[in-house]
Homo-oligomer: A and B are copies of this chain.
Amino acid sequence: MADTTVFEQHESELRGYCRVYPTVFSSARNARQFDEDGKSYIDFFAGAGVLNFGHNNPRMKKALIEFIEADGVAHSLDTYTSAKREFISAFVDTVLKPRAMDYRLQFIGPTGTNAVEASLKLARKVTGRRNVVAFSHGFHGMTLGSLACTTNNYFRNAAGVPLENVTHQAFGCDKLCMGCRLGCGRQSLDQLRAAYADSSSGLEKPAAFLVEAIQAEGGVNVASDEWLQDLQSLAREVGALLIVDDIQVGCGRTGDYFSFERAGIDPDIVNLAKGIGGYGTPLAMNLVKPEHDRHWQPGEHTGTFRGQGLSFVAGREGLRYFEDRALLDEVVAKGEFMAATLNGVVERHGESRCQRRGRGMIQALDTGAGEHAKAIVANCFEAGLLVSACGTGGRVVKLIPPLTIEQETLAEGLAIFTRVVDQVLSGGNP
């Protein structure tokens, strides 16, 4: 048994995931983690979507060690460094140019919440407006500005102050989630459009719409392409910016580099973090249309850890995966395999008991009840598989393995998962 005394005695009560995975991890390789007792876990969680390229990706290890040995600049604020130039060039050449995208790269601090906060500032500067529209079940971070956009009451109630300047609307799911009565799945934006057009609706035109194309923490809710397109139209009509938070589902997760590519939309700002740094060291980046970017004055939003040499180096290695469609095609194929497996589960237990949702390698099983999902997560852990719950009441089990997971490991993990789910949903215990 792992010795967790030090943590229990000295770490804050705030700690969370360690309660879900009650062991001490000592090493990790691609889609496997190992604890101090030598037990191996297949990782379908990937550090909450950070480790798209697996733990300790060999190419990245090599590049990092070389960089460290050569005394590369590990920490540089936002001064220019060779490593940063390589990263920027690679991103422009690999991601932006092939997609004919014209964005400025903005380094705003190393976390997703920094990215969201900076994009809210810019949208408010550009438009001179205060209100931002976010969507039910959205998750955008924990600092006060992004927390106001995040919907989960558990987090919101911890703010201790009113969360202002953000309003929430129903999300545009491509199908109705189990038991959803929010109207997300059949939501038209016409009522909102009419409210903005009516000077006595009480709704003011927003500075921005902040949206995830797939709400990961919110329960793996997939926006329909038509709704995203209409949202972009609405934003243009009312003079608001469209911000896509692609922090968890960007960087290849969905089978495209960006989650929103399929919908053919053209956001004003894209928030990236998590996977962008490659190795699990922090990095975040906003892509910003040049016409908005010029509203910034130098250093107006700042932060100490904006120049992360190790993240640039590993992130640059990560970008090599997108020089052709090989990895993305693999993501599509593995995603279909995952979906098919989950569909089998749904067929066995019936759509009244569970529902599959997702795209590419973010797949989920909505179990309809938090206690089911909790039992599944716990039993999977026992059985050597790391998965995690999300969504309202924690009733959705999310599967987000590294994109680089070996097919046999993926199959092995899915086999554990289906066995556990079958037992839990049948009322038994594995």
Contact = CB atoms under 8 A, between A and B. Distances in A.
B304 A273 contact: yes
B161 A15 contact: no
Given A10-B104, A89-B6, A300 B155 contact: yes
A298 B107 CA distance: 30
A1 interface: no
A151 interface: yes
A392 B181 contact: no
A118 B111 CA distance: 15
Contact of A158 (B17, B70, B125): B125
For this chain, the copies found in one complex come to 4
Contact of A82 (B25, B70, B105, B113): B25
A56 B74 contact: yes
B112 A160 contact: no
Contacts of A153: 199-200, 204
Contacts of A162: 130, 161-162, 164-165
Pick the most buried of A123, A145, A197: most chain B CB atoms within 10 A of its CB: A145
Contacts of A78: 15-18
Interface in A15-30: 15-19, 21, 23-29
Given A10-B105, A181-B191, 18 more contacts: A10-B89, A11-B105, A15-B107, A17-B79, A26-B81, A28-B71, A28-B72, A28-B73, A117-B142, A136-B203, A144-B144, A150-B202, A151-B201, A155-B300, A166-B202, A199-B392, A200-B218, A274-B304
Interface string A43-65: 00001111100011000010011
A55 B207 CA distance: 42
A81 B33 CA distance: 11
A315 interface: no
A194 interface: yes
Contacts of A118: 14, 142
A341 interface: no
B27 A73 contact: yes
A36 B125 CA distance: 36
B18 A124 contact: no
Contacts of A197: 181
Interface in A163-200: 164-168, 170, 180-183, 190-191, 193-195, 197-200
A400 to B, nearest CB: 13
**Size category, A interface:** 35 or more
Nearest to A7: B80
A417 interface: no
Contacts of A203: 136, 168
7 smallest CB-CB distances across A and B, nearest first, come from A124-B160, A75-B280, A16-B299, A168-B202, A144-B145, A181-B194, A143-B143
Contacts of A145: 143-145, 161
A68 B114 CA distance: 27
A92 B9 CA distance: 10
A296 B14 contact: yes
Given A182-B191, A392-B198, A110 B111 contact: yes
B165 A161 contact: yes
A408 interface: no
A200 B152 contact: yes
A404 interface: no
Contacts of A273: 304
A212 to B, nearest CB: 13
A75 B104 contact: no
Contacts of A14: 106, 108, 118, 293, 296-301
A120 interface: yes
Nearest to A22: B80
B88 A10 contact: yes
Interface in A242-286: 273-274, 279-282, 286
Nearest to A298: B16
Given A48-B304, A281-B75, A294-B13, A160 B201 contact: no
